[in-house]
Amino acid sequence: MNIDSIKNGIVIDHIAAGQGMRIYNFLNLGQLDCSVALIKNAASNKQGKKDIIKIDTLLNIDMNALGFIDPTITINVIRDGVRVEKYHPELPERMTNIVKCKNPRCITSTEQELPHVFVLVDREKDEYRCLYCESKAPAL
């Protein structure tokens, strides 16, 4: 793949250096059949160093969940070689079954069938708390 010329796909840019692999794993990109490029420590004017992920297909996934991992990222959607959309993830008000509550006294540790729900309590700080016990969400 010529990584500079994606025809139809998604480029996740401005990932904090070192975070690219977490996003790669979170999106299960290893399971895709298309070309995927993870570029580590690319030079960045803004950040010094950054990671970039280029996916050579138009994935239909909830990119907003990525805001939980790294709210500074930029998501670019490419169609016919042209960038048609560029946005930052909107932090979701709720995350269901994205991370698990680690509090051993939380009801989710005994009631296995309960979904793990975290609610956004501070948009500025990217802070989520468990719906049931108000523990902070663990890092992904």
Contact residues: Zn ion, CB under 5 A: 101, 103, 106, 130, 132-133, 135
| C-alpha span between 131 and 119 (Å, rounded) | 6
77 sits in which H/E element: strand 74-79
Give residue 62's Cα distance to chain centre.
9
C-beta closer to Zn ion: residue 24 or 128 = 128
CB of 90 to Zn ion, least distance (A): 24
C-beta closer to Zn ion: residue 74 or 103 = 103
Convert 24-49 to b/e letters by CB count within 10 Å (16 or more is b). Answer: beebebeeeeeebbbeeeeebeeeee
CB of 134 to Zn ion, least distance (A): 7
CB of 97 to Zn ion, least distance (A): 13
C-beta closer to Zn ion: residue 12 or 130 = 130
Whole-number Cα distances in Å, 92 to 27, 62, 66, 102: 16, 10, 10, 20
CB of 106 to Zn ion, least distance (A): 3
C-beta closer to Zn ion: residue 85 or 93 = 93
